[in-house]
Amino acid sequence: MPEQDFPPPRRLARPYRSDRDDDEPPPWANLPPVGPARSGRLPGPGHAPGPGHAHAGRSGSHWVSDPVRDEPVPQWAQWDEPEDDAGEAAPPSRTHEPGGRALRAAARRRRRWYYLGGGVVVVVGAVLAVVLLTGGRPGPASVTPGALITTFQPGELRQVPNACHVVPPATVAQYLPGTPKVASPLPVNGSAGSACNWTVDKPPLYRLMQVSMNAYAPDGLASGNGSATRAATDAYGLALQELQAPPKHSPSSRATVQVLSGFGDQAFSALQVFHVGGAVTDVATVMVRYHNVVVTVKLNGLERSNKGNYGPVSKTQLAAAAMAFARAAEASLH
pLDDT value of residue 332: 96
pLDDT at 114: 65
pTM for this entry: 0.57
- Name every residue whose Cβ is closer than 8 Å to that of residue 254 and which is 6 or more positions away in sequence: 244, 245, 246, 272
- The 3-class secondary structure across the chain, one letter per residue, is CCCCCCCCCCCCCCCCCCCCCCCCCCCCCCCCCCCCCCCCCCCCCCCCCCCCEECCCCCCEEEEECCCCCCEEEEECHHHCCCCCCCCCCCCCCCCCCCHHHHHHHHHHHHHHHHHHHHHHHHHHHHHHHHHHCCCCCCCCCCCCCCCCCCCCCCCCCCCCCHHHCCCHHHHHHHCCCCCEEECCCCCCHHHEEEEEEEEEECCEEEEEEEEEEECCCCCCCCCCCCHHHHHHHHHHHHHHHHHCCCCCCCECCCEEEECCCCCCEEEEEEEEEEECCEEEEEEEEEEEECCEEEEEEEEEEEECCCCCCCCCCHHHHHHHHHHHHHHHHHCCC
Q: What is the pLDDT of residue 183?
A: 94
Per-residue pLDDT at 2:
47
Segments making up each domain of the chain, as ranges? 19-36+51-83, 163-331
Burial class (CB in 10 A: 0-12, 13-18, 19+), 175: buried
In tens digits, the chain (334 residues) has pLDDT values of 444 455 555 554 455 555 554 555 555 555 555 555 554 444 444 444 444 444 444 444 444 444 444 445 455 444 444 444 444 444 555 555 555 677 777 777 777 766 666 666 666 666 565 545 544 444 444 455 567 899 999 999 999 999 999 999 999 999 998 899 999 887 767 789 999 999 999 999 999 999 999 999 999 999 999 999 999 999 999 999 999 988 887 777 899 999 999 999 999 999 999 988 888 999 999 999 999 999 999 999 999 887 778 989 999 999 999 999 999 999 999 9
**Is-cis flag, bond preceding 32, omega within 30?**
no
| CATH match of 163-331 with 3.30.70 | no
